Amino acid sequence: MSKKPKLIYVKWRDSCGVSPTWEYLKDVKFENDIVTAESVGWLVSESKTSITLVSNMTNREDGEDVEIVGTMAIPKGCIIKRKFLKI
């Protein structure tokens, strides 16, 4: 890893209302709203269309062979707010 990722807070819109079973279309009530999610993580990648956070990362002094877990990509079109955090 060439540079240490920055810690970031992201407020974003997420989908909801996934049905666990088959349903008849006529019986479904479309009352689910989009939900707002908040995430904090290390910004490890950014493209034109998304950012990628990880929730956990090893802290190697030499920056080599860093391990990560909890990777999540968030589409930029869903982001409401983002703020880098100082630690």
Integer Cα distance of 68 and 57 in angstroms = 4
Domain ranges of the chain: 6-18+32-84
Instruction: Enumerate the β-bridge partners of residue 12.
Output: 37, 79
Integer Cα distance of 17 and 57 in angstroms = 31
pLDDT over 60 at 1, yes or no: no
Integer Cα distance of 87 and 85 in angstroms = 7
pTM value? Answer: 0.78
pLDDT over 80 at 19, yes or no: no
| Contact between 66 and 14 (Cβ < 8 Å) | no
Q: For the segment 25-56, what is each residue's pLDDT rounded down to a tens digit?
A: 888 877 767 889 999 999 999 999 999 999 99
Q: What percent of the chain has pLDDT over 90?
A: 55
